[in-house]
A and B are shown apart, each in its own frame.
Chain A
Amino acid sequence: MKSTLLTAVAALLVAGSAMAQDMVRMGTEGAYPPWNFINDSGDVDGFERELGDELCKRAELNCEWVTNEWDSIIPNLVSGNYDAIIAGMSITDERDEVIDFTQPYTPPDPSNYLAASDSADLMGGVIAAQTGTIQAAYVAESGATLVEFATPDETIAAVQNGEADAVLADGSFLAPIAEQNGDLMIVGDAVALGGGVGMGIRESDGDLKGKFDAAIQSMKDDGSLNALIEKWEVSTQW
């Protein structure tokens, strides 16, 4: 038993030694259409997939996509399980203390309330939001009662089954849902939250941040970023 353990550890220690710097693992959630989602063939797809692939091409990096639960997406980045977060993550001061952000690739996406009726009490009622999002922080401060859910889907389900009066989330995520469900509607005014959406990078990884910053800038300059935003209807234009 002991010897097999030792052999296993030894095998781990010597396994592989080749390396190439230009391999970048991109971590995303895969549950937030149209930003990122798993498409019908089982691959990561969406605005950020297309954007990320283009950024990697411009920065001459070799990118690989991985999915990770939203709850543990930052711990796994700082622990080195992937090299960048590209998951519709808004740039906030709290997050900036733990990780670094590239420059934003979309302006702040206005957040909306989605409710089952016009008369939902947005300031004093029960509002659903995804755990650890800027919307959750905003609801907590607005005076409404916050109920948090691990996935975006569950926040919608909470409104449908009456557990919450409304859900607060990115407008681009809620718009198609309101369109398809006759009994759900966007209510109240849009709220502008956060400092735009950027890629999360480890603080010690300044090189990578620089490369992505440059790539995002070049996409902003030639208008291809605006074209992508328009195609996936994720936010406002630059």
Chain B
Amino acid sequence: MFGYCTDPSALEGLAWLACYLTNGKHLTAYASIGTVLLLLAITAPTALTFGFVGASAARSRIAPLRWLGQGYTSIVRGVPDIVFFLFFVIALDQAFEWMRHQVLCPDWNQPVRQGNDFVVCAAAKLPLSTSPQWIHEVYGFFLAVLTFAIVFGAFAANVLFGAMRAVPKAQLETAEAYGMTERQTFWRILVPQMWVFALPGLSNLWMILVKATPLLFLLGVEDIVYWARELGGTKGRIFDYPHPDWRLWYFLALLVFYLSLTQVSEVVLARLTRKLSRGQATFAGEAQRKAAT
């Protein structure tokens, strides 16, 4: 990074620290903060979509759809996260490869399962083993987003399901009395009003999601917790920048990062609650109306 970093062993004090904190490994670690934030930014809306679809299905009048929605929420909520991340992801990956295998290699005559091995033809590999490393990383990231979305979507579905039922019946009946169809009542009356009831539950989910990112390393995505452990570990003389066990300092930095992220979330969520309460038939909405007059 800096010109004087060419010979780390000759450096001392602040110069050493400056070079140490800007070596290639640290730069990769800083980039992983971006990875985590990007994952959160993509996963949150995706999980919310899964949750919304799940909740709508669970309250559907068509029985099979309802079973599907209820089954999704109860099964996924009951399975430990770590099981999802260790086994479900490998199974998902194998399912994709198996589908590609069926399409791309119809005249393959060996079994796909050979003892412990899962063998598909080279063209069905996902990503192809010839792909550059970044494609493998993007694919791992995609699997992570999908898994997070499925797991957190189930919790969100349960929250939204409850929120939909919390909207006062009188509101829906009034809409019906005005001659709105069921679809119109759902989209114009129910959905706009349910968010304020869903928000406390959803904000809890968001906080848990923020802290769940270390599970990423199980999928080969290197997140900030992995790097804190790796960078902080004792570095012997074969490293350019040897140092004793510094994990405490790295984990303190992590603490600051997570606490700031929590603080920012709190502020944003408080603002959102205020905005969503406006004009609602709830205590908060009523209080706002009174304050305004």
A-side interface residues toward B, CB under 8 Å?
1, 9, 12-13, 15-21, 23-25, 30-31, 33-34, 37-43, 46, 64, 66-69, 72, 75-76, 78-81, 83, 98-99, 151, 153, 156-157, 160, 176-177, 180-181, 202-205
The smallest beta-carbon distance between A206 and chain B, in angstroms, is 11
C-alpha gap A204/B220 in the complex (Å): 24
With both beta carbons as reference points, the residue of chain A lying nearest to B241 in the complex is identified as A40
CB atoms of B99 and A9 under 8 A apart: yes
- Would you call B204 an interface residue if the criterion is a C-beta within 8 Å of the partner chain's C-beta atoms? no
Instruction: Select from chain B the residue with minimum beta-carbon distance to A30.
Output: B230
CA distance A86 to B73 in the complex (A): 41
Chain B residues whose C-beta falls within 8 Å of the C-beta of A69 in the assembled complex: 217-218
Give the secondary structure class of A's interface.
Answer: loop
* CB atoms of A40 and B240 under 8 A apart: yes
Q: With the chains together, A31 CA to B247 CA distance in Å?
A: 14
- Encoded as 1 (CB less than 8 Å from any A CB) or 0, chain B from 6 to 39 comes to 0010000000000000011101100000000000
Given contacts A42-B27, A176-B237, contact A17 B53 (CB under 8 A): no
Complex alpha-carbon distance, A40 and B115, angstroms: 40
Q: Given A13-B99, A13-B100, A19-B123, A79 and B118 touching (CB < 8 A)?
A: yes
Q: Which B positions have Cβ atoms within 8 angstroms of A?
A: 8, 23-25, 27-28, 49, 53, 86, 90, 93-94, 96-97, 99-100, 103-104, 114-120, 122-123, 125-131, 133, 136, 217-218, 220, 222, 229-230, 233-234, 236-242, 244-245, 247
| Set of chain B residues within 8 Å of A81, measured between Cβ atoms | 93, 220
Interface pair A176/B122, CB less than 8 Å apart: no
- Cβ-defined contact, A80 with B23, below 8 A: no
22 A-B pairs whose Cβ atoms sit less than 8 Å apart in the complex:
A12-B100, A12-B126, A13-B104, A15-B126, A19-B128, A21-B122, A33-B238, A33-B239, A38-B25, A40-B8, A40-B25, A66-B136, A67-B222, A72-B218, A78-B117, A80-B118, A80-B120, A80-B125, A99-B116, A157-B245, A180-B242, A203-B115
